[in-house]
Amino acid sequence: DIQLTQSPSSLSASVGDSVTMTCRASQSVSTYVNWYQQRPGKAPQLLIYAASRLQSGVPSRFSGGGSETHFTLTISSLQPEDFAIYFCQQSYSTPPFTFGPGTKVDIK
């Protein structure tokens, strides 16, 4: 199975900051990477699919990029509701479509 790593495992930032987190795949997954946000006690929500496509209803301050084995999620101008855990997922070839371990964004 394809393995995903995420860095950093956690970061601290302030409201209004711009932050970028990384997801790396153990082999090329083309652009088949998705990003999810999980707030405490809630189910995950899809933010970005196919590496850079914004899910309907998600604010434009979220953006994704990358290809092959290196992907990024950027949040420009952090808002209070953005403090959460972010997971990447690969959807390359056939399932299982594994998740990364997550990056926790908390308040500085």
Partner 1 sequence: EVQLVESGGGLVQPGGSLRLACAASGFSLTHYAMIWVRQAPGKGLEWVSAVSGSGENTYFGDSVKGRFTVSRDMSKNTHYLHMNSLRAEDTAIYYCAKDRGNYDLWSGSESLESWGQGTLVTVSS
- Shortest distance in whole angstroms from residue 45 CB to partner 1: 7
Which tokens sit at 13?
């930032």
Binds partner 1 by CB under 8 A, chosen from 21, 62, 102, 105:
102
Scanning 20-28, 30-38, 59-67, 75-83 for contacts with partner 1 by CB under 8 A, the matching segment is 30-38
Any contact of residue 49 with partner 1 (CB under 8 A)? yes
Phi, psi of 68 (to 5 degrees): 65, -100
Any contact of residue 62 with partner 1 (CB under 8 A)? no
Rounded Cα distance, 26 and 32, in Å: 13
Any contact of residue 44 with partner 1 (CB under 8 A)? yes
Q: Which of 68, 81, 76 is nearest to 23 (CA)?
A: 68
Provide the binding-site residues for partner 1, judged by CB under 8 A. 1, 30-32, 34, 36, 38, 43-46, 49-50, 53, 55, 87, 89, 91, 94-102
